[in-house]
Structure formats: structure tokens, C-alpha cells
């Protein structure tokens, strides 16, 4: 028997499996280095994790209505999904946006859309996460500008932008600019937020999408932390002190149904990151050494067959995230393998978290699995395997060099292929797919996006371009190009352009004019 990462799984664990392990040395106390047992001393005994629900579809009006429903149902944080054109820095009327507007998230073209998206939502009392990468600076600035219109200063805003472009080159594909220029934009965001949005989490370094592409738990952690090391090095090289920006770094992982390995994975990741930050970068602030992370249950493990069974999968995955010490959690809806989640399905996903938090006893003690022979052994084995894989990345020159060589992508593809072969051969059981299937599936009516949304967004853009001060927009876009070609922080002229009602596409194009776009090279 082996784990998802191919590590040996013993049928029985006892103290001998830990090979000289000393509890006090290996574990420490919760809230203290190396944070194996959690980043805070009390964890959920004081209050539960932040309950987020990832949502966004159609236009800003529809998504605003869903956010209000989720907040009314007890969600404690919002998580915004953007449509593909927004993620790629294209306006809704761009030829490449045709057929994709509002499909996998909400369409945001200008400050007008962002204003509608958060209408009636007090941004000083809600924590907002935005899944956006290459245009992360643009969406963050739009959020800040809308907050200012509400009378909320930047110092009061709390939330996260994903802003993790390196994993886009590895697993997801919504990159725009070449890696070096993308890193420049990331470090400009770090500096801007230090001065303007001090409570904002400037990056959510993500293993989730690598896991969705087929990465094993060890690959997920190793490649995520290798990317994180690259971001820290870039920020330090730009002149920032590690303890000035590292406390606002955050991470994003998946939670699979393999409960024990996932718990061990989270504990090992905290321990590795604490050691890297202290020993390699000399971070002295304990907050710089903490690996704080958001978790999403595994969308890739949901099935279109017998979709109600996904409720069970999500509950197990969420339990693993909680027992592993996550800071916030999104639970997938049972119908997401078919279409965008219905309101009822999204509410049931939130209720799963609420049952764990308020009906189970997992919040009554910190790190319930500490001292488990099985979990402690798995934690050690995962740590060792992650260290070895990170060393392979470093031997290739670091994360960016390894990306350019195709290393991480190739390793993940090999794992994904092996996983698919095991399912096809029946060696890996997927309930309702290759075992316990039904002869005929029950009918299901999915949520559908209004097909006229693209036309609505095009009309809104046409009106905005006719109403705005075009000279002010042109001047601000010119200053973005100058900053991109020089050394000034790009976010300040970006903010001026967006305030003047420049579009997401126009601001992205200003950077494309100077930096160009990334053209991947397939490595076989």
C-alpha cells in the first residue's frame, strides 16, 4: 500500500516507525516555531476558520446577488471568481473574449463593474479573496477605488489576491507577460500594499491548481514552496527587507479525500516553510515564518456521475483541511462537475463547514492528530520527499529556470497519466465511475449563464468609452508604459488610469506594449 505521493503506507504504526522521533523537538507548541501544530496557539478553540465560498458568474449584478445570498447564509468571507477574458486581461468586447464572457466567473471590465459587484457590501467588514493572477494589480486597485467610494480607507481593507503567476506557467495557463516581468509586477504589488494596504495578503502561492492538473501531495507542496522561494528572492533582490513583506504572504492548497496524508501534508508544509524562512532568508519575525493557507476541497475528485456522492467527498476533504489547520476554507458544491453551482448546492457546501465548526468536536482542541504514530510518520516522510524534490528544482536554477525547462509541468503530467491509468485499470476505485455505477443517471437541471451577458457588457463598454475623459485615460496609460520601461512602481499610474475609467484590457495592453507576452516552449 502506498500514499497518493507513492510513499509507503504501513498497515500498523508504532513508535518504532518514527525512528528516533522526539515529540517535544519535532512538534513544538502550537503558535511557535516550527508551527507543525498550527500557526496560532489556540487555533479553532478561539474561533473557527474563515468560511469562504468561491463564487462569480455572468455579470456583476448576478454575482452581487449571489454574494448577498452567501453572506446571509453565514459565509464569513467572499471569494471572487473572474471570467476567462478578465483573467487574461481582455475586455468583454475583444475578439478573443467572444463566447467566454461571464462563463467561468464574473466579467469585470471597468470600475463601473467593480462598483456594482460590491454594491451594498461593507468592504471594511468583509474579507475578500480574489482569484486573479496576471492582472492581479488591476483588480486589487479597482477594489481599493470602490472601497474609497464607500469611505473605507486602504488601511481597513482585509483580503487576498492570488497573484501567483509562476504556477500559471506550470499548470493553469492564464499568464500574460514573461516570467521576469511578471515577477517585477509581483514585487511592485508587495511594495504598494506595504504602503497603501497594510492588512492585505499580497499573494496566495498556490498548489491547488497543480493538484487539479494531477500533482501528487508531495509535488503540490514542493513546487508551491519552490515558487514561494522565488518570490521571496525577487522581493529581497528589489531592496525589500524580508520581514517587511513576508508576514503578508499566504498559501493555497487542495484537500483530497485521502484524509491522513492530507493532514500530514499540511503539517509538513508548515514545518518546511518555517525552516526555509528562518535559515535561508534570516526572517526574525515569527509571522514571516508562518505558513498561513487557504484550502479548497478537490474539484478534480468530483464526479458528474451520481453527483450527490460528492457531498460525502467534500465533507471528508473539508475535515482533512480543518484537522490540518487551515486558516480559511472553500467547500465545493456537489454539482460543480456538471455546471456552475446552483444556489441550493452552494448553500449545502457552506452548511458542510458549519456542521464541522459547530456540531463536531474538532474545534475543541488544537492539532487533534498530534502524536498519532501514522500521521507523525507520514509528516516526516512527506517532509523528506518534499525537500528532495525542491532540491531538484534548485539544481535546475530555481523555480523560474525549471519552469523554462518544463520540469514541473512534465513531472505533474507523468503523475496525472499514471493516475488516469490506474482508474482505467480499476486499480484506483472512484465510486460511481468505475465501481458501484448506475445503469442510468437521474436527470439534473444545471445553472445556466444568460447568453445575452456578452452583449450587455459590450454595450456598457461602449457607453463608458463615450462618457469618460479620454485625454486623462491616454495620459495615465502613457505613464504606465513609462513605468513599465523604467523602475517606478507601476501600480500608481495604474490606479490613476482605472480611476479615469480605463478598462482592464487597456491597462493590460499598456504593459503588453512594453513587456510583450510569454510564448511557452514545449519540452519533451
pLDDT of 475 above 50: yes
The alpha carbon of 239 is separated from its chain's Cα centroid by a whole number of angstroms, namely 26
Q: Report which of 297, 281, 299 is spatially closest to residue 225, judged by C-alpha positions.
A: 281
Examine residue 524 and state whether it is found in any structural domain, yes or no: no
pLDDT, tens digit (0-9, with 9 covering 90-100), for 30-84: 999 999 999 999 999 999 999 998 888 889 999 999 999 999 989 888 999 999 9
Q: What is the arithmetic mean of pLDDT over 330-337?
A: 95
Strands 328-330 and 159-161: unpaired
Q: Name the 3-class secondary structure at 340.
A: strand
Q: Are 322 and 261 in contact (CB under 8 A)?
A: no
Q: How many CB atoms lie within 10 A of CB 116?
A: 18
- Work out whether the CA dihedral 385, 226, 104, 99 comes out positive or negative: negative
pLDDT, tens digit (0-9, with 9 covering 90-100), for 371-424: 899 999 999 999 999 999 999 999 999 999 999 999 999 999 999 999 999 999
Q: How many CB atoms lie within 10 A of CB 141?
A: 25
- The pLDDT value given to residue 21: 57
Q: Report which of 442, 409, 414 is spatially closest to residue 523, judged by C-alpha positions.
A: 409
pLDDT of 346 above 70: yes
Strands 77-81 and 127-131: parallel
- The pLDDT value given to residue 392: 98
pLDDT, tens digit (0-9, with 9 covering 90-100), for 6-28: 888 776 766 666 666 555 455 78
What CATH number did the domain enclosing 269 receive? 3.20.20.240
- The pLDDT value given to residue 16: 65
Structural domains of the chain, count: 1
- The pLDDT value given to residue 524: 41
Examine residue 445 and state whether it is found in any structural domain, yes or no: no
- The pLDDT value given to residue 440: 84
Examine residue 468 and state whether it is found in any structural domain, yes or no: no
Q: What is the arithmetic mean of pLDDT over 299-328?
A: 97
Examine residue 41 and state whether it is found in any structural domain, yes or no: no
Examine residue 434 and state whether it is found in any structural domain, yes or no: no
Examine residue 157 and state whether it is found in any structural domain, yes or no: yes
Q: How many CB atoms lie within 10 A of CB 25?
A: 9
pLDDT, tens digit (0-9, with 9 covering 90-100), for 486-511: 999 999 999 999 999 999 999 999 99
Calculate ∠ Cα 447-448-453, nearest 5°: 140
Q: Band of the pLDDT at 449, cuts 50, 70, 90?
A: confident
Q: What is the arithmetic mean of pLDDT over 240-266?
A: 97
Q: Are 518 and 169 in contact (CB under 8 A)?
A: yes
Examine residue 75 and state whether it is found in any structural domain, yes or no: yes
pLDDT, tens digit (0-9, with 9 covering 90-100), for 411-439: 999 999 999 999 999 999 999 999 999 98
User: In the numeric block, which cell numbers belong to residue 74?
Assistant: 453565514
Q: What is the arithmetic mean of pLDDT over 125-147?
A: 96
Say if residue 351 is exposed, middle or buried (CB neighbours under 10 Å; 0-12, 13-18, 19+). Answer: middle
Q: What is the arithmetic mean of pLDDT over 230-255?
A: 96
Distance CA 278, CA 337 (A): 41
- The pLDDT value given to residue 477: 98
Distance CA 371, CA 378 (A): 12
470-485 and 491-499 helices cross at what angle (nearest 10)? 170
- Identify the domain containing residue 160 by its residue range: 15-20+50-424
Distance CA 378, CA 482 (A): 52
Strand partners, 8: 2
- Work out whether the CA dihedral 297, 130, 85, 193 comes out positive or negative: negative
Distance CA 496, CA 145 (A): 10
- The pLDDT value given to residue 24: 44
Strand partners, 154: none
Strand partners, 53: 78
Any idea which residue has 468530483 for its cell? 302
The pTM score is 0.92
Average pLDDT, the chain: 94
Examine residue 402 and state whether it is found in any structural domain, yes or no: yes
Q: How many CB atoms lie within 10 A of CB 181?
A: 18
Q: Please give the residue that has the higher pLDDT: either 70 or 108.
A: 108
Q: Band of the pLDDT at 295, cuts 50, 70, 90?
A: very high
Amino acid at each position: 500500500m502506498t500514499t497518493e505521493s507513492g510513499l509507503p503506507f504501513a498497515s500498523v504504526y508504532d513508535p518504532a516507525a518514527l525512528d528516533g522521533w522526539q515529540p517535544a523537538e519535532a512538534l513544538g507548541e502550537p503558535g511557535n516555531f516550527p508551527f507543525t501544530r498550527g500557526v496560532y496557539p489556540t487555533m479553532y478553540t478561539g474561533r473557527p476558520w474563515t468560511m469562504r465560498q468561491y463564487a462569480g458568474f455572468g455579470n456583476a449584478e448576478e454575482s452581487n446577488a449571489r454574494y448577498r445570498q452567501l453572506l446571509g447564509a453565514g459565509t464569513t468571507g467572499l471569494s471572487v471568481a473572474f471570467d476567462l477574458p478578465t483573467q487574461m486581461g481582455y475586455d468583454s468586447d475583444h475578439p478573443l473574449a467572444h463566447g467566454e464572457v461571464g462563463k467561468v466567473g464574473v466579467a469585470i471590465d471597468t470600475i463601473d463593474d467593480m462598483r456594482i459587484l460590491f454594491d451594498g457590501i461593507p468592504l471594511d467588514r468583509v474579507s475578500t479573496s480574489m482569484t486573479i493572477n496576471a492582472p492581479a494589480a488591476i483588480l486589487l486597485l479597482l477594489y481599493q477605488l470602490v472601497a474609497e467610494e464607500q469611505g473605507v480607507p486602504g488601511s481597513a481593507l482585509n483580503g487576498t489576491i492570488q497573484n501567483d503567476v509562476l504556477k500559471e506557467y506550470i499548470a493553469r495557463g492564464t499568464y500574460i507577460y514573461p516570467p521576469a516581468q511578471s515577477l517585477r509586477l509581483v514585487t511592485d504589488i508587495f511594495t504598494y500594499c506595504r504602503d497603501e494596504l497594510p492588512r492585505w495578503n499580497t499573494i496566495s502561492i498556490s498548489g491547488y491548481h497543480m493538484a487539479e492538473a494531477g500533482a501528487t501531495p508531495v509535488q503540490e507542496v514542493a513546487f508551491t514552496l519552490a515558487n514561494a522561494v522565488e518570490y521571496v528572492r525577487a522581493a529581497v533582490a528589489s531592496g525589500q527587507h524580508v520581514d517587511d513583506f513576508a508576514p503578508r504572504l499566504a498559501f493555497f492548497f487542495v484537500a483530497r479525500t485521502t484524509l491522513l496524508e492530507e493532514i500530514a501534508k499540511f503539517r509538513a508544509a508548515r514545518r518546511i516553510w518555517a525552516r526555509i524562512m528562518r535559515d535561508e532568508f534570516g526572517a526574525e519575525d515569527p509571522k514571516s515564518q508562518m505558513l498561513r493557507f487557504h484550502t479548497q476541497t478537490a474539484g478534480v475528485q468530483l464526479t458528474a456521475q451520481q453527483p450527490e456522492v460528492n457531498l460525502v467527498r467534500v465533507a471528508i476533504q473539508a475535515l482533512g483541511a480543518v484537522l490540518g489547520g487551515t486558516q480559511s476554507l472553500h467547500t465545493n458544491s456537489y454539482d460543480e462537475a456538471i455546471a456552475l453551482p446552483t444556489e441550493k448546492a452552494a448553500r449545502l457546501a457552506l452548511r458542510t463547514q458549519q456542521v464541522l465548526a459547530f456540531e463536531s468536536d474538532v474545534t475543541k482542541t488544537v492539532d487533534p492528530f498530534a502524536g498519532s504514530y501514522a500521521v507523525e510518520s507520514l509528516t516526516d516522510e512527506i517532509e523528506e520527499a518534499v525537500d528532495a524534490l525542491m532540491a531538484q528544482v534548485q539544481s535546475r536554477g530555481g523555480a523560474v529556470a525549471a519552469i523554462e525547462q518544463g520540469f514541473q509541468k512534465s513531472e505533474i503530467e507523468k503523475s496525472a497519466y499514471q493516475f488516469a491509468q490506474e482508474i482505467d485499470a480499476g486499480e484506483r476505485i472512484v465510486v460511481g465511475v468505475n465501481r458501484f455505477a448506475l445503469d442510468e443517471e437521474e436527470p439534473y437541471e444545471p445553472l445556466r449563464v444568460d447568453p445575452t451577458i456578452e452583449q450587455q457588457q459590450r454595450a456598457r463598454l461602449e457607453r463608458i468609452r463615450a462618457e469618460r475623459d479620454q485625454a486623462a485615460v491616454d495620459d495615465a496609460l502613457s505613464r504606465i508604459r513609462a513605468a513599465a520601461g523604467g523602475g517606478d512602481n507601476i501600480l500608481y499610474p495604474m490606479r490613476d488610469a482605472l480611476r479615469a475609467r480605463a478598462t482592464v484590457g487597456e491597462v493590460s495592453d499598456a504593459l503588453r506594449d512594453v513587456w510583450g507576452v510569454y510564448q511557452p516552449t514545449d519540452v519533451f
